Amino acid sequence: MLFKETKLKGVFVVEPEIITDERGFFACSWSALEFEKHGLNPRLMQCNISFNTKRGTLRGMHFQQQPHEEAKLVRCTRGAIYDVAIDLRPGSPSRYQWLAVELTPDNRSMLYLPEGFAHGYQALADETEIFYQISESYHLESARGLRWDDPRVGIEWPLPVTEISERDRGFSFL
């Protein structure tokens, strides 16, 4: 596995090392030992699948507050997404900064977000599916979010928003 740190400390694009032969290929997509070796949280408590019917659907920006903060590893298994992380860590030099990565089944890239980040994404294609691994179970009492269009953050979404839940639309600005 290849770990490429982004401009936000602790956020990595993770790429599988592809081993090919006449049958096709093999690649490791998860290794607790590799994550530990790179100083990342290897704990895996829950895996989720999210399916989005329409291009332009937006989900986010979600996080869990202490004591149930989550690290996430996100992969797109169908379609394409514009995957976004926002640094919410107090004292971080990049607090409230964001980054985005396009994830597709073809690029096989994954985005790792450590604890202290909000996460969201926009579907770039109809019938898009996301698989993500999380270090903490879902706790309703710790679940929080912030507005996807918060001007203080200034995320540049690639498409008009076609679908968004009332919950996500109702989150507060910073």
- The catalytic residues are 62, 132
Q: Which residues contact 22 (CB under 8 A, 6 or more apart)?
A: none
DSSP 91: T
Structure tokens, 17: 């090392």
Q: What is the number of other CB atoms lying within 10 angstroms of the CB of residue 114?
A: 21
Angle at 35 between CA 31 and CA 36, to 5 degrees: 115
* Rounded Cα gap, residues 107 and 45, in angstroms: 26
Task: Let me know: does 150 contact 174? Beta carbons within 8 Å.
Answer: yes
